[in-house]
Amino acid sequence: MPADKPDRPDSTEIRIADHEFRRFRDFLYRRTGIVFSDAQRAYVERRLTDRILAAGSRSFSEHFARLLVEPDELERLISAFTVNETYFYREDYQLRCLTSNLLDRITARKRRGQPIRLWSVPCSTGEEPYSIAIWLLENWSRVDSWDIEIIGSDIDVRALDAAQDGVYSERSLMRLPRPLVAKYFTAMDGGRYRIDEALRGSVQFSQVNIIDQADTGRWRDIDVVFCRNVLIYFDDMARRTAANNLYDCLAPGGYICLGHTESMSRISPLFHVCRFPEAIVYQKPWEDSHA
Ligand SMILES: C[S@@+](CC[C@H](N)C(=O)[O-])C[C@H]1O[C@@H](n2cnc3c(N)ncnc32)[C@H](O)[C@@H]1O
Protein backbone atom coordinates (compact mmCIF):
# COMPACT_ATOMS: atom_id res chain seq x y z
CA MET A 1 0.00 0.00 0.00
CA PRO A 2 1.47 3.44 -0.86
CA ALA A 3 2.41 5.51 2.16
CA ASP A 4 0.17 8.50 2.81
CA LYS A 5 1.69 11.76 1.70
CA PRO A 6 2.74 13.56 4.88
CA ASP A 7 0.72 16.63 5.79
CA ARG A 8 3.75 18.82 5.97
CA PRO A 9 6.05 19.54 3.02
CA ASP A 10 9.69 18.48 3.26
CA SER A 11 12.54 20.86 2.45
CA THR A 12 12.70 19.75 -1.20
CA GLU A 13 9.11 20.89 -1.71
CA ILE A 14 9.87 24.48 -0.65
CA ARG A 15 11.04 26.46 -3.65
CA ILE A 16 12.28 30.04 -3.36
CA ALA A 17 12.06 31.88 -6.70
CA ASP A 18 14.54 34.63 -7.62
CA HIS A 19 12.06 37.42 -6.97
CA GLU A 20 11.11 35.84 -3.61
CA PHE A 21 14.76 35.66 -2.57
CA ARG A 22 15.24 39.36 -3.43
CA ARG A 23 12.02 40.29 -1.65
CA PHE A 24 13.04 38.42 1.47
CA ARG A 25 16.57 39.83 1.43
CA ASP A 26 15.23 43.40 1.18
CA PHE A 27 12.75 42.71 3.96
CA LEU A 28 15.47 41.40 6.27
CA TYR A 29 17.71 44.35 5.43
CA ARG A 30 14.97 46.89 6.23
CA ARG A 31 14.21 45.15 9.53
CA THR A 32 17.79 44.57 10.73
CA GLY A 33 20.38 46.36 8.54
CA ILE A 34 21.95 42.96 7.80
CA VAL A 35 23.02 42.55 4.18
CA PHE A 36 23.27 39.28 2.24
CA SER A 37 24.89 39.08 -1.18
CA ASP A 38 23.82 36.91 -4.14
CA ALA A 39 26.75 34.65 -3.26
CA GLN A 40 25.11 33.91 0.11
CA ARG A 41 21.85 32.79 -1.47
CA ALA A 42 22.27 29.10 -0.59
CA TYR A 43 22.92 30.03 3.05
CA VAL A 44 19.89 32.34 3.18
CA GLU A 45 17.64 29.79 1.49
CA ARG A 46 18.70 27.01 3.85
CA ARG A 47 17.90 29.07 6.93
CA LEU A 48 14.68 30.42 5.48
CA THR A 49 13.51 26.95 4.44
CA ASP A 50 14.26 25.63 7.93
CA ARG A 51 12.11 28.40 9.43
CA ILE A 52 9.27 27.85 6.94
CA LEU A 53 9.15 24.15 7.83
CA ALA A 54 9.57 24.67 11.57
CA ALA A 55 6.71 27.18 11.58
CA GLY A 56 4.45 24.79 9.62
CA SER A 57 4.04 27.06 6.60
CA ARG A 58 3.62 25.40 3.20
CA SER A 59 5.38 27.93 0.97
CA PHE A 60 7.47 31.08 0.93
CA SER A 61 4.46 33.28 0.15
CA GLU A 62 2.40 31.82 3.01
CA HIS A 63 5.30 32.32 5.40
CA PHE A 64 6.08 35.82 4.20
CA ALA A 65 2.46 36.86 4.79
CA ARG A 66 2.70 35.45 8.32
CA LEU A 67 5.87 37.43 9.03
CA LEU A 68 3.95 40.64 8.51
CA VAL A 69 1.31 39.82 11.14
CA GLU A 70 3.02 37.43 13.60
CA PRO A 71 5.63 39.27 15.68
CA ASP A 72 6.77 36.00 17.37
CA GLU A 73 7.55 34.36 14.04
CA LEU A 74 9.36 37.51 12.89
CA GLU A 75 11.51 37.34 16.04
CA ARG A 76 12.30 33.66 15.48
CA LEU A 77 13.25 34.44 11.89
CA ILE A 78 15.53 37.33 12.91
CA SER A 79 17.17 34.98 15.44
CA ALA A 80 17.81 32.52 12.62
CA PHE A 81 19.77 35.16 10.68
CA THR A 82 21.82 36.84 13.40
CA VAL A 83 25.42 35.82 14.07
CA ASN A 84 25.67 35.65 17.85
CA GLU A 85 29.35 34.63 18.05
CA THR A 86 30.94 36.20 21.16
CA TYR A 87 32.97 35.29 24.27
CA PHE A 88 34.14 36.72 27.58
CA TYR A 89 37.02 39.24 27.51
CA ARG A 90 36.82 39.57 23.71
CA GLU A 91 38.85 42.65 22.67
CA ASP A 92 39.88 43.24 26.27
CA TYR A 93 42.27 46.05 25.21
CA GLN A 94 39.15 48.24 25.17
CA LEU A 95 38.27 47.24 28.73
CA ARG A 96 41.84 48.24 29.66
CA CYS A 97 41.26 51.59 27.91
CA LEU A 98 38.01 51.99 29.86
CA THR A 99 39.72 51.72 33.25
CA SER A 100 43.04 53.40 32.33
CA ASN A 101 41.59 56.39 30.47
CA LEU A 102 37.89 56.74 29.76
CA LEU A 103 36.49 56.46 33.28
CA ASP A 104 38.90 59.11 34.65
CA ARG A 105 37.73 61.53 31.99
CA ILE A 106 34.07 60.67 32.50
CA THR A 107 34.11 60.91 36.30
CA ALA A 108 36.07 64.19 36.20
CA ARG A 109 32.96 65.83 34.72
CA LYS A 110 30.33 64.07 36.86
CA ARG A 111 28.90 64.84 40.27
CA ARG A 112 28.97 62.03 42.83
CA GLY A 113 25.61 60.25 42.69
CA GLN A 114 25.20 60.75 38.95
CA PRO A 115 25.27 57.29 37.35
CA ILE A 116 27.94 56.14 34.89
CA ARG A 117 26.06 54.48 32.04
CA LEU A 118 27.79 51.80 29.96
CA TRP A 119 25.88 50.20 27.08
CA SER A 120 26.78 46.97 25.32
CA VAL A 121 24.79 47.01 22.07
CA PRO A 122 24.64 44.47 20.57
CA CYS A 123 25.34 42.25 23.57
CA SER A 124 24.36 38.92 21.97
CA THR A 125 24.21 36.26 24.73
CA GLY A 126 25.61 38.55 27.43
CA GLU A 127 29.34 37.81 27.47
CA GLU A 128 30.25 41.44 26.70
CA PRO A 129 28.23 43.27 29.39
CA TYR A 130 29.16 40.63 31.99
CA SER A 131 32.82 41.03 30.96
CA ILE A 132 32.52 44.77 31.57
CA ALA A 133 31.07 44.09 35.04
CA ILE A 134 33.82 41.58 35.93
CA TRP A 135 36.55 43.82 34.51
CA LEU A 136 35.40 46.79 36.61
CA LEU A 137 35.18 44.71 39.79
CA GLU A 138 38.69 43.37 39.21
CA ASN A 139 40.43 46.43 37.78
CA TRP A 140 38.80 49.69 38.85
CA SER A 141 39.59 50.68 42.41
CA ARG A 142 36.77 53.24 42.48
CA VAL A 143 34.08 50.74 41.49
CA ASP A 144 32.34 50.92 44.89
CA SER A 145 32.16 54.69 45.03
CA TRP A 146 30.23 55.19 41.80
CA ASP A 147 26.75 54.15 40.70
CA ILE A 148 27.45 52.14 37.52
CA GLU A 149 24.63 51.10 35.20
CA ILE A 150 25.48 48.38 32.69
CA ILE A 151 22.92 47.83 29.95
CA GLY A 152 22.97 44.95 27.45
CA SER A 153 20.80 45.19 24.32
CA ASP A 154 20.36 43.17 21.14
CA ILE A 155 17.79 42.75 18.38
CA ASP A 156 17.68 38.99 18.98
CA VAL A 157 15.30 38.07 21.80
CA ARG A 158 16.58 34.49 21.97
CA ALA A 159 20.11 35.77 22.56
CA LEU A 160 18.76 38.09 25.26
CA ASP A 161 16.97 35.19 26.98
CA ALA A 162 20.27 33.28 27.06
CA ALA A 163 22.02 36.39 28.42
CA GLN A 164 19.51 36.64 31.24
CA ASP A 165 19.87 32.93 31.95
CA GLY A 166 23.64 33.42 32.25
CA VAL A 167 24.72 29.83 31.48
CA TYR A 168 27.92 29.49 29.42
CA SER A 169 30.04 26.83 27.77
CA GLU A 170 33.80 26.38 28.17
CA ARG A 171 34.16 27.97 24.74
CA SER A 172 32.57 31.23 25.91
CA LEU A 173 34.91 31.28 28.88
CA MET A 174 38.15 30.39 27.04
CA ARG A 175 39.72 33.89 27.41
CA LEU A 176 38.61 34.49 31.00
CA PRO A 177 41.40 33.67 33.50
CA ARG A 178 40.51 30.47 35.42
CA PRO A 179 40.59 32.17 38.86
CA LEU A 180 37.85 34.52 37.61
CA VAL A 181 35.78 31.60 36.36
CA ALA A 182 36.09 30.06 39.83
CA LYS A 183 35.25 33.39 41.49
CA TYR A 184 32.19 34.43 39.46
CA PHE A 185 30.68 31.17 38.12
CA THR A 186 29.19 27.95 39.46
CA ALA A 187 30.02 24.74 37.56
CA MET A 188 26.97 22.83 36.28
CA ASP A 189 26.54 19.43 34.61
CA GLY A 190 27.79 19.02 31.04
CA GLY A 191 30.76 21.38 31.32
CA ARG A 192 28.59 24.46 31.61
CA TYR A 193 28.86 27.34 34.07
CA ARG A 194 26.27 29.70 35.51
CA ILE A 195 27.29 33.27 36.26
CA ASP A 196 26.62 34.43 39.83
CA GLU A 197 23.27 35.87 40.77
CA ALA A 198 24.84 39.21 41.77
CA LEU A 199 26.45 39.63 38.35
CA ARG A 200 23.23 38.67 36.60
CA GLY A 201 21.49 41.38 38.58
CA SER A 202 24.15 43.94 37.65
CA VAL A 203 23.20 44.05 33.95
CA GLN A 204 19.86 45.30 32.66
CA PHE A 205 18.87 43.60 29.37
CA SER A 206 16.51 44.96 26.70
CA GLN A 207 15.65 44.44 23.04
CA VAL A 208 16.94 47.23 20.79
CA ASN A 209 17.33 47.46 17.02
CA ILE A 210 20.18 49.92 16.45
CA ILE A 211 18.90 51.01 13.05
CA ASP A 212 15.49 51.88 14.48
CA GLN A 213 15.40 55.37 15.96
CA ALA A 214 12.18 54.61 17.84
CA ASP A 215 14.10 51.88 19.70
CA THR A 216 17.36 53.72 20.35
CA GLY A 217 15.48 56.93 21.19
CA ARG A 218 14.57 55.39 24.56
CA TRP A 219 18.24 55.70 25.61
CA ARG A 220 19.98 58.93 26.53
CA ASP A 221 23.05 60.10 28.47
CA ILE A 222 25.11 56.99 27.83
CA ASP A 223 28.78 57.50 28.76
CA VAL A 224 30.29 54.62 26.78
CA VAL A 225 28.70 52.52 24.04
CA PHE A 226 30.36 49.21 23.14
CA CYS A 227 29.08 48.54 19.62
CA ARG A 228 31.39 45.79 18.53
CA ASN A 229 31.20 43.33 15.67
CA VAL A 230 27.81 44.14 14.21
CA LEU A 231 28.48 46.94 11.71
CA ILE A 232 30.45 44.45 9.60
CA TYR A 233 27.12 42.81 8.70
CA PHE A 234 25.57 46.12 7.51
CA ASP A 235 25.93 48.19 4.34
CA ASP A 236 27.11 51.84 4.40
CA MET A 237 23.62 53.26 4.77
CA ALA A 238 22.67 51.04 7.71
CA ARG A 239 26.06 51.75 9.35
CA ARG A 240 25.45 55.49 9.07
CA THR A 241 21.93 55.11 10.49
CA ALA A 242 23.28 53.10 13.44
CA ALA A 243 26.09 55.64 14.04
CA ASN A 244 23.61 58.56 14.01
CA ASN A 245 21.25 56.75 16.38
CA LEU A 246 24.02 55.87 18.84
CA TYR A 247 25.37 59.42 18.65
CA ASP A 248 22.00 60.69 19.87
CA CYS A 249 22.08 58.21 22.79
CA LEU A 250 25.49 59.39 24.01
CA ALA A 251 26.03 62.06 26.64
CA PRO A 252 28.13 65.00 25.39
CA GLY A 253 31.77 63.84 25.59
CA GLY A 254 30.61 60.17 25.61
CA TYR A 255 32.60 57.46 23.82
CA ILE A 256 31.87 54.68 21.37
CA CYS A 257 34.06 51.57 21.07
CA LEU A 258 33.82 49.53 17.85
CA GLY A 259 35.20 46.09 16.98
CA HIS A 260 38.83 45.96 15.86
CA THR A 261 37.95 45.61 12.15
CA GLU A 262 35.48 48.50 12.25
CA SER A 263 36.29 52.21 11.90
CA MET A 264 33.97 55.13 12.59
CA SER A 265 36.11 57.41 10.39
CA ARG A 266 34.76 55.55 7.36
CA ILE A 267 31.17 55.75 8.56
CA SER A 268 30.42 59.15 10.09
CA PRO A 269 32.19 62.49 10.56
CA LEU A 270 30.23 63.24 13.76
CA PHE A 271 32.78 61.80 16.18
CA HIS A 272 36.29 62.85 17.25
CA VAL A 273 38.91 60.11 16.94
CA CYS A 274 40.68 59.54 20.30
CA ARG A 275 43.93 57.56 20.18
CA PHE A 276 44.75 56.08 23.57
CA PRO A 277 47.71 53.75 24.16
CA GLU A 278 45.34 50.76 24.46
CA ALA A 279 42.76 51.52 21.79
CA ILE A 280 41.25 53.95 19.31
CA VAL A 281 37.79 55.08 20.42
CA TYR A 282 35.37 57.70 19.10
CA GLN A 283 34.02 60.61 21.11
CA LYS A 284 30.86 62.66 20.79
CA PRO A 285 32.03 66.30 20.98
CA TRP A 286 31.23 68.23 24.15
CA GLU A 287 29.50 70.84 22.00
CA ASP A 288 26.85 68.95 20.02
CA SER A 289 26.83 70.59 16.58
CA HIS A 290 24.51 67.82 15.27
CA ALA A 291 21.55 68.78 17.52
C1 LIG B 1 28.76 38.89 16.52
S2 LIG B 1 27.57 39.42 17.69
C3 LIG B 1 28.53 40.65 18.56
C4 LIG B 1 28.42 40.50 20.06
C5 LIG B 1 29.42 41.35 20.88
N6 LIG B 1 29.21 42.76 20.69
C7 LIG B 1 30.86 40.98 20.53
O8 LIG B 1 31.56 41.80 19.93
O9 LIG B 1 31.27 39.87 20.85
C10 LIG B 1 26.48 40.40 16.66
C11 LIG B 1 25.12 40.67 17.32
O12 LIG B 1 24.49 41.74 16.61
C13 LIG B 1 23.09 41.57 16.77
N14 LIG B 1 22.40 42.42 15.78
C15 LIG B 1 22.31 42.25 14.44
N16 LIG B 1 21.60 43.26 13.89
C17 LIG B 1 21.25 44.09 14.91
C18 LIG B 1 20.51 45.30 14.99
N19 LIG B 1 19.99 45.88 13.89
N20 LIG B 1 20.34 45.87 16.21
C21 LIG B 1 20.84 45.30 17.33
N22 LIG B 1 21.54 44.15 17.31
C23 LIG B 1 21.75 43.56 16.12
C24 LIG B 1 22.92 40.07 16.56
O25 LIG B 1 21.70 39.61 17.09
C26 LIG B 1 24.15 39.50 17.28
O27 LIG B 1 23.82 39.11 18.59
Each residue's pLDDT tens digit, 190-239:
999 999 999 999 999 999 999 999 999 999 999 999 999 999 999 999 99
Q: Residue 9's pLDDT is what?
A: 76
Distance 206 CA to ligand 1 centre (A): 13
**Are 291 and 251 a contacting pair, CB within 8 Å?**
no
CA distance 227 to 119: 8
Is residue 2 scored above 70 in pLDDT? Answer: no
pTM: 0.94
Average of per-residue pLDDT across 31-41? 96
Average of per-residue pLDDT across 124-133? 98
Is residue 171 scored above 90 in pLDDT? Answer: yes
Q: Residue 12's pLDDT is what?
A: 73
Nearest CA to ligand 1 atom 16: 32
Of 208, 220, 272, give the one whose Cα is nearest residue 251.
220
Give the number of the atom of ligand 1 that is nearest the alpha carbon of residue 90: 9
Nearest CA to ligand 1 atom 18: 209
Q: Residue 290's pLDDT is what?
A: 60
Is residue 262 scored above 90 in pLDDT? Answer: yes
Of 107, 83, 65, 128, give the one whose Cα is nearest residue 223.
107
Average of per-residue pLDDT across 52-58? 94
**Are 53 and 11 a contacting pair, CB within 8 Å?**
yes
Distance 229 CA to ligand 1 centre (A): 7
Is residue 152 scored above 50 in pLDDT? Answer: yes
3-state SS, residue 114: coil
Strands 222-227 and 250-258: parallel
Is residue 3 scored above 60 in pLDDT? Answer: no
Q: Residue 1's pLDDT is what?
A: 43
Cα dihedral value 162, 41, 245, 277, nearest 10: 80
Give the number of the atom of ligand 1 that is nearest the alpha carbon of residue 85: 1
Average of per-residue pLDDT across 183-195? 96
Is residue 261 scored above 70 in pLDDT? Answer: yes
Where does ligand 1 bind, in terms of residues with CB under 6 Å? 32-34, 82-86, 90, 122, 124, 128, 154-156, 159, 208-211, 228-230, 259
Q: Which of 107-111, 149-153, 210-214, 226-230 bottoms out in mean pLDDT, i.e. has the lowest?
A: 107-111
CA distance 147 to 69: 42
Torsional class of 203: left (φ above 0), alpha (ψ -120 to 50), beta (otherwise): beta
Is residue 289 scored above 90 in pLDDT? Answer: no
8-31 pLDDT tens trace: 777 777 889 999 999 999 999 999
Which one-letter amino acid corresponds to residue 252? P
